Structure 1
Amino acid sequence: MRNSFNLTELLNKIAIVFRKEWRDSLRDSKSLRMTLLMPVYFVGVFVASSLFIIHMSNQSKATNNEPIKLAVVGAEQLPSLIDWLQERGVQVDAVGDDAYQKVETGELGYALVIPKDAHEKFATGESIELALVFDATNNKLQGGIHFVRQQIWSWNGRMGSLRLLSRGISPGIANPVYIRDLNIASDEKMGFFVMGSLPMLLILTAFMASVGFSADMTAGERERRSLESLLITPASSTALVLGKWCNSFSLTLMVSLVEVILLVVAFAYVPFKELGLRVDVSPLELAGVFVVLASLALLATSLQFLISLFARSFKDAQTYMGLMIFIPMVPLFYTLFNPSAYADWFRWVPVLGHQVLIKDLLLGGTITATHFAQVWLVSGVLACALLAYTIQQLRKPKIVYGV
C-alpha cells in the first residue's frame, strides 16, 4: 500500500513539473515557432528536391526528343560512319577546319574531327584517331556527347567484327564476353533514389526537435541560478528529471507528428509518376514511421538531457548538442554509400536499426511486429540507462554549482 502511495505521489510530482515546463515552453513562443518550422523546412527540402529531379528529367526527355546535331570535320573521309550516325538520328553538319575555334567560342557545342588520311587508313585496316572536341564545363551537352560517343564505339565494334570475318576469324575470339544489363529493381526501390534523403531528415528531426528546450531546462536553469531553488523543493531528483524529460519528449513527438502529416500531403501531390516511378507510401506506413520516430525520440531526448546537464552554460549545451548530431550521421552515411549492405544485427544497433525500419516502410519491405519491438527495446533500455545516470548526477555539487 505504501509503495502504491509513493508511486502515485511520484507521478503527481512528475505531472506538476511537466505542466510547469510546458507553460514555460508556451511562454517562449518564438522558440516554439522555430521548432515547429523545422518539419516544414525538412519536408519543403524533400518536396523541392523531388520537383527539381522531375523538372530535370522532363527537360532531359525534351532534349532527347530533339535531333542531336553533330558538326563533323572531314565527313567525306568515313562515309560509313556518317551513315551509321545518321541512321541513329544524329544530324550531321559538315564544317571547316575552324571547328576547334568555334567550339572554343561557343558557336558550336561540340564537333567530331576526322583526319584527312582516314579514308586510306580505313582501306588498309589501320587504326584511325578521331577527335571529339567539346567543353566539359557545359553540362547541357553531356547527354548528346555521351550518345555520339556511344554510337561511335558501336560502329567501331561492328567494323572490327567485319574485318575479322573478312579474314576468316570469328569475332568471338576478340570479344569473348558480352554484357546484357538486367535491372531487377522494383519501381519502389528505384523510387528510393529520389527519396534517399528522407530517412536522414526524419531521424535528424528526432535529434534536433527539442535541443533548445532540453538545454534551457538543464544548463539554462543552472545559468539562471534557478536550479538550486528546484532542488530544495519536496520534488525528488527523479520527479524533476522525468518531468523535464517528458516535456522534451512530448515536444519531439509533436514535431515528428507535424512532419509525418506534411509528408502525407506531399506524397499525395508530388508527381512521382512523371519519373516513371511508383512511389506508393500510404498514410498507414507513414504512421509506422511515426512509431519508429517516437522510439528514437526516447533515446534522443534522454541523451540531450545528459549532455546538457554537464554543460556549464546554455551556450555550451547548444554547442555540445550540435556535435551530438554527428552521432546519427555515422550510420546514415554508411547505409547511404552502401545501400546494399544489410545484416540482421543492424536492427539491434541504435539509429541504424531505426533507419533500416524506416527504409523498409518507405520501400514496402517485409515488416513484422518484432521489428518494431526491437527498436523500442533498444531505445527504451538506453533511454532508461541515460535517465538513471542523469538522475544520479543531478544533485552533485559539480552539476549544481559548476565547480
Structure 2
Amino acid sequence: MHNFIKTLLIVWRKEWRDALRDKKSLRMAFLMPVYFVGVFVASSLFIIHMSNQSRATTSEPIKLSVVGAEQLPALVMWLEERGVQVQAADEQAYQQVQNGQLDYALIVPEDAREKFATGESIELALVFDATNNKLQGALHFVRQQIWSWNGRIGSLRLLSRGISPAVVNPVVVRDLNVASDQKMGFFVMASLPMLLILTVFMASVGFSADMTAGERERRSLESLLITPAPSGALLLGKWLNSLSLTLLVLIVELSLLAIAFAYVPFKELGLRVDVTPLDLLLALAVLMSMALVATALQFLISIFARSFKDAQTYMGLMIFIPMIPLFYTLINPGAYTDWFRWVPVLAQQLVVKDLLLGGALSLQAFAQAWVVAVILAALLLTFTAQQLRKPTIVYGAG
C-alpha cells in the first residue's frame, strides 16, 4: 500500500510539472471561466438595460409628429389625453424620418375628415425605422392607442345604428403579461448551474487527452507500463492531476462570480442576490463530486482514442452528455422529480441551483450527489485501469 501511494504521488508530481510547462493549454483552461462569467454578466447587464429602457419609455412623455392633425381632431385629442405630445409636421415628414431628422411620424390623409364624417374607413400611415430598437416601446404604445380609439369609434357607430358592439366583437382578449423583469433576471440566474457544470466537463479535457492518448502516440505510455508500478497507481496519479486542474479552474470561476454578484446591479431587476462565501464553497464542494465523474469519463474515452487529436474530438462530443439534461430542465423548470437526485449532473444541478438561487439546501440531496458520483467514478476508473495492460490499448492496434 505504501508503494502504491508513493507511485501515485510521483506520477501526480510529474504530470503537474508537465502541465505547468504547457502554457498554451493552461491559458485555454483558465480563459474558460473568464468567458463563461463574462457571458453571464453581459446577459444580466443586457436585461437590466432593456428593463431601464422600458421604464424610461413609460415614464418619459412620448412625442408624436402628425401630418394632417387637423383632419382627425378626435384622434389627436384621444392621444393627448393619454400623455402623447402631438406635434404638427409638414408633408416632408416621410423624408425626415428617412433622413433621421424625425424618429417616427403619423400621416393622416387629406380626405380623412370627409371619410370620418361619412363613416368610411381611413388609412393612416405610421412611418418609422424598424432598425431603431429604441423606438419599439414608444411605437407599440402609439399603435395600441390608435387601435383603442379605432375600437371605441367603431363601437359608437354601431350603437348609433342600434347594433350592439358585441355582435361584431364576440370575444375580447385582454393581455396579462406575467413575464416581469424579475422573472427574466431569474431566467438568467438559472443558467448558472449549466455554465458551472460545463466548466467541470471542459476544464481539463486537453490535459486528460495528452496524458493518455497523447503519451501513447508518443510511445511514452508503453515505457511507463513496463515498470512494475501498479496500473491503478499510474492511472490515479494522472487522474488526480486532471482533478486538481479542474478544481483550480472552478475556484477561479466561482471567485469571478463572487465579484459579479457584488457589482452587477441585480436590484434593478427586483432580484435579491444574496450569495455568501459559504454558499460558493458548498457549490464548489458539490461540483467537485461532478468533477470526479467528468475526469474519470475523460480518461475512459481518451484511452480508446487512437491519437491525441481523436481523443480531443471524442471528448468534445462528451459535452453533450451534461447539456441534454441541463437544457431540458432549463426549458422545463418545473419538471424536477425525486429520482433526479440519484442521476449524475441532475443531482449536482439541483444542489447548485438551491445554493445560488436562494433555495433551501438539503443535506440529503448533497449526500446523494456525492454517493452517486463516487460510485460511478470508481467504476469508470476501475474499468479504465483494466484496459491499460491490454496490447490493443497500449499499442493502438486493432
Q: TM-score, normalised by structure 1?
A: 0.86
**2:206 is equivalent to residue 212 of structure 1:** yes
The yes-or-no answer on 1:267 pairing with 2:241 is no
In the TM superposition, what is the alpha-carbon distance from 1:218 to its structure 2 partner? 0.5
User: Which one of the candidate residues 176, 188, 205 is aligned to 1:181?
Assistant: 176
The reply on whether 1:234 has 2:259 as its aligned counterpart is no
Question: How many residues matched?
Answer: 396
Q: 1:164 to 1:335 in 2, by over 3 A?
A: farther
Structure 1 runs of 4+ with >6 Å offset: none
Rounded to whole Å, the distance in 2 between the matches of 1:291 and 1:16 is: 26
Task: Give the drift of 1:355.
Answer: 2.6
Provide closer, same or farther for how the CA distance between residues 177 and 95 of structure 1 changes in structure 2, counting only shifts above 3 A: closer
- Amino-acid identity (%): 73
Q: Equivalent residue of 2:85, what SS?
A: strand
State the TM-score, normalized to the length of structure 2.
0.87
Alignment partner of 1:360 is 2:360 = no
Q: Distance in 2 between matches of 1:306 and 1:218?
A: 9
Check 1:45–1:186 CA distance in 2 against 1; reply closer, same or farther (3 A cut): closer
1:156 pairs with one of 150, 161, 167: 150
On the 8 A contact 1:190/1:277 being kept in 2, the answer is no
Answer yes or no: is the 8 Å Cα contact 1:223–1:313 preserved in 2: yes
Separation (CA, whole Å) in 1 of partners of 2:368 and 2:387: 29
SS of equivalent to 1:195: helix
Tell me how far apart the structure 1 counterparts of residues 265 and 179 of structure 2 sit (CA, whole Å): 23
1:93 aligned residue: 87
**Equivalent residue number for residue 384 of structure 1:** 378
Deviations 1:55-82 (A, max 9, x none): 4544554455443222223322322221
* Counterpart code for 1:23: R
From 293, 301, 304, the equivalent of 1:310 is 304
Cα distance in 2, alignment partners of residues 349 and 83 from structure 1: 63
Distance 1:108 1:190, change over 3 A: closer
Report whether the alignment pairs 1:290 with 2:284.
yes
- Name the CA distance, whole Å, in 2 between partners of 1:165 and 1:366: 59
Q: 2:234 is aligned with what amino acid? A: L
- Structure 2 vs 1, CA of residues 347 and 115 (structure 1 numbering), >3 Å: closer, same or farther? farther
Q: SS of 2:134's equivalent?
A: helix
Partner of 1:35: 29
Task: Establish whether residue 195 from structure 1 lines up as the match of residue 189 from structure 2.
Answer: yes
- Partner letter of residue 91 of structure 1? Q
Task: Give how far 1:224 is off.
Answer: 1.9
5+ residue gaps in structure 1?
Answer: 1-6
Q: Distance in 2 between matches of 1:352 and 1:267?
A: 24
Instruction: Give the partner amino acid of 2:286.
Output: V
Residue 313 of structure 2 aligns with which residue? 319
Q: Which residue of 2 aligns with 1:330?
A: 324
Could you tell me how far apart the structure 2 residues matched to 1:37 and 1:171 are?
A: 64
1:353–1:149: structure 2 CA closer, same or farther, 3 Å change rule? farther
Whether 1:50 and 2:77 are equivalent positions in the alignment is no
Whole-angstrom distance in 2 between the partners of 1:255 and 1:311: 25
Give structure 2 stretches of 5+ with no counterpart: none
Aligned-pair distance for 1:263? 1.5
> Which residue of 1 is the match for residue 238 of structure 2?
244
